[in-house]
């Protein structure tokens, strides 16, 4: 076996539980910040959560940006960065789902690299050539601290990876460095209580996707497998009930913790084809990533099944199936069916056609998927024709 390394994401603090958000101002002080830009979900504008944020930060809050569009187009990032410069912000707090969290990371890149035009993002975008060639530009120095407060289960708060979409080409580019990792994360179920049940459930499918593809990754390792399996157990036991009962703080906390556990795989072993397709599918059709996971994950699991039977057994067991008397093929089928059952219980759309868009775009999506870094972790070799076939099956 070759030498392997497990990297713990360089976050300073993860606080969780009801009331954890009340410590946000202390975290700003601890990180040396005094002038905060908050990147806020537009759905939270005018809500008690925004009022609570303003109350907690007080005169430390110098600007709020709430116009980030889904999938973080370059234009939104440049607007937010301009607001940060105008306010002389020295710290960013993201409050909301994966969109404001990724936007906040991108703002820290713009401030550190003096990015003021869409074209300059290309200098820092990750280039990937299938099967395993990466070009990862060096991150700039002096990235200001970021505190992430998620209201969904997308998991972006736990990584230094983010996506920004080129409005002209629809390519969702990847950017990554430990320097873009939020310095502190606050997992407060009270802050999530107003997240609509459908969005909570869909984003939870993204966390399930992180855990499943981490276990199935061609680069999988035991510690990531263990964390992923516990993530699946927490999510399977709590996701549906927490979507129905937003005030069930215990269930919501367990989902937030499951999401945290699921993300270690992405950081260490990569994810796979469901994510690679999902990145580009979402940018093309303006789908949320939880829906792309519901659409693609079972199909990708089937595509990889012959290469991943023992790992699929582990997934089936984490999802509550007794596989002791099952052969490998039957246990694998049980895992895939368990994921489909979970998707149906959450009532998340699971066909591309359900969200609109033109079928003719699938060919272009397939081509862009092959340059997505997530595809490198696929346990089965993949071609553009394979991707197109999966997209057609998902239509």
pLDDT in tens, 121-165: 999 999 999 999 999 999 999 999 999 999 999 999 999 999 999
For the segment 164-203, what is each residue's pLDDT rounded down to a tens digit? 999 999 899 999 999 999 999 999 999 999 999 999 999 9
Within a domain: 357: yes
Within a domain: 2: no
Rounded Cα distance between 306 and 25, Å, is: 51
Rounded Cα distance between 82 and 372, Å, is: 29
Q: Is the dihedral of CA 386, 387, 389, 393 positive or negative?
A: positive
Q: How many CB atoms lie within 10 A of CB 135?
A: 9
> Percentage of the chain with pLDDT > 90?
95
For 207, half-sphere exposure in the C-beta direction (CA atoms, 13 angstrom radius) is 37
Here the CATH number for the domain that contains residue 111 is 3.40.50.1970
Q: What CA dihedral angle connects 80, 66, 350 and 371, to 10 degrees?
A: 0
What's the start-to-end Cα distance of the chain, in Å?
40
Range of the domain at 63: 13-192
- As to burial, measured by CB atoms within 10 angstroms (0-12 exposed, 13-18 middle, 19+ buried), residue 377 is buried
pLDDT at 1 over 90: no
- Claim to verify: residue 205 and residue 181 sit in the same structural domain: no
For the segment 199-219, what is each residue's pLDDT rounded down to a tens digit? 999 999 999 999 999 999 999
Rounded Cα distance between 332 and 319, Å, is: 12
For the segment 239-248, what is each residue's pLDDT rounded down to a tens digit? 999 999 999 9
SS3 content of the chain, % helix, strand, coil (to 5): 60, 10, 30
Residue-averaged pLDDT of the chain:
96
For the segment 33-57, what is each residue's pLDDT rounded down to a tens digit? 999 999 999 999 999 999 999 999 9
pLDDT at 356 over 90: no
Q: What domain count does the chain have?
A: 2
Tell me what pLDDT residue 165 has: 95
Within a domain: 6: no
Tell me what pLDDT residue 355 has: 85
For the segment 54-108, what is each residue's pLDDT rounded down to a tens digit? 999 999 999 999 999 999 999 999 999 999 999 999 999 999 999 999 999 999 9
Tell me what pLDDT residue 2 has: 78
- Claim to verify: residue 35 and residue 71 sit in the same structural domain: yes
- Claim to verify: residue 49 and residue 174 sit in the same structural domain: yes
**Contacts for 65 with CB less than 8 Å, ≥ 6 apart:** 37, 38, 39, 40, 79, 80, 83, 84, 103
Record the pTM. Answer: 0.96
- Claim to verify: residue 218 and residue 331 sit in the same structural domain: yes
For the segment 364-394, what is each residue's pLDDT rounded down to a tens digit? 999 999 999 999 999 999 999 999 999 999 9
- Which of 222, 272, 260 lies closest to 4, judged by CA? 222
């Amino acid at each position: 076996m070759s030498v392997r390394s497990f990297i713990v994401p360089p976050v300073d603090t993860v606080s969780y539980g009801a009331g954890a958000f009340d410590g946000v101002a202390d975290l700003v002080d601890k990180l040396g910040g005094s002038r905060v830009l908050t990147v806020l979900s537009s759905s939270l504008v005018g809500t008690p959560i925004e009022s609570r944020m303003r109350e907690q930060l007080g005169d430390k809050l110098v600007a709020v940006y709430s116009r980030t569009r889904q999938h973080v187009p370059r234009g939104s990032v440049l607007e937010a960065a301009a607001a940060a410069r105008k306010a002389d912000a020295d710290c960013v707090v993201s409050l909301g789902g994966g969109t404001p969290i990724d936007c906040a990371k991108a703002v820290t890149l713009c401030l550190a690299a003096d990015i003021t035009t869409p074209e300059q993002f290309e200098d820092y975008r990750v280039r990937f050539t299938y099967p395993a060639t990466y070009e990862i530009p060096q991150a700039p120095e002096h990235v200001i601290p970021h505190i992430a407060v998620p209201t969904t289960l997308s998991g972006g708060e736990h990584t230094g990876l983010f996506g920004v979409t080129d409005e002209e080409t629809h390519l969702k580019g990847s950017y990554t460095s430990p320097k873009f990792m939020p310095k502190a994360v606050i997992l407060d179920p009270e802050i999530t209580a107003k997240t609509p049940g459908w969005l909570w459930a869909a984003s939870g499918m993204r966390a399930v996707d992180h855990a499943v593809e981490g276990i199935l990754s061609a680069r999988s390792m035991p510690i990531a497998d263990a964390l992923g399996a516990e993530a699946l157990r927490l999510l399977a036991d709590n996701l549906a009930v927490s979507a129905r009962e937003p005030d069930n703080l215990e269930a919501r906390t367990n989902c937030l913790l499951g999401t945290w556990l699921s993300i270690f795989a992405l950081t260490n072993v990569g994810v796979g084809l469901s994510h690679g397709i999902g990145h580009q599918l979402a940018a093309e059709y303006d789908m949320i990533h939880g829906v792309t996971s519901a659409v693609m994950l079972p199909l990708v699991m089937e595509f990889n099944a012959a290469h991943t039977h023992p790992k699929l057994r582990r997934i089936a067991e984490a999802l509550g199936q007794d596989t002791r008397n099952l052969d490998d093929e039957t246990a694998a089928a049980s895992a895939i069916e368990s994921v489909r059952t979970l998707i149906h219980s959450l009532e998340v759309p699971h066909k591309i056609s359900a969200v609109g868009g033109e079928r003719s775009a699938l060919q272009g999506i397939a081509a862009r998927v092959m340059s997505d870094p997530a595809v490198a972790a696929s346990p089965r070799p993949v071609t553009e024709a394979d991707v197109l076939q999966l997209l057609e099956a998902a239509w």
